[in-house]
Amino acid sequence: MGMLLSIIGWAVAISLVVITAMLALNKSSGLKLIQHRTDMLPQVLLVRYGGMAVLSLLAAWFNAPRVLFSMLLAFAVIGLGDAFIYRRAGHPFWLHLVVGGLAGLGALLALFSIS
């Protein structure tokens, strides 16, 4: 069972890297491929933030430092990436910067608590 889970994990990771590259190279064809629409972005973000909240609650409840580290590192990348995007476009970005920084700090704390 462990080998199957590992294969699924790698397949998901590789798929996400491919999607990320496609979106970086051509936003419109990338969005079309993953069947997302910019006009639906508010609803999509609602579901994403809900999913991240569930992940955060479960990681804290299980008190699993490796899961917390991984999750917080991903949240730091998201927050800091959004801050960079908004800052470059001249929009308010401080909230994203603070949240991304706090997530990065939390990831470091979780990393040092892994035994």
Q: Where are the domains of the chain?
A: 1-36, 38-115
- pLDDT tens for 43-87 read 988 999 999 999 889 888 988 888 889 999 999 999 999 999 999
Return all residues near 78 (Cβ < 8 A) that are at least 6 apart: 100, 103
Q: Which of 53, 42, 101 is nearest to 77 (CA)?
A: 101
**Can you give the pLDDT at residue 37?**
86
**Can you give the pLDDT at residue 17?**
92
d(Cα 12, Cα 10) in Å, to the nearest integer?
Answer: 5
More confident residue, 29 or 72: 72
Q: How far from the centroid of its chain's Cα atoms is residue 9's Cα?
A: 15
d(Cα 14, Cα 6) in Å, to the nearest integer?
Answer: 12
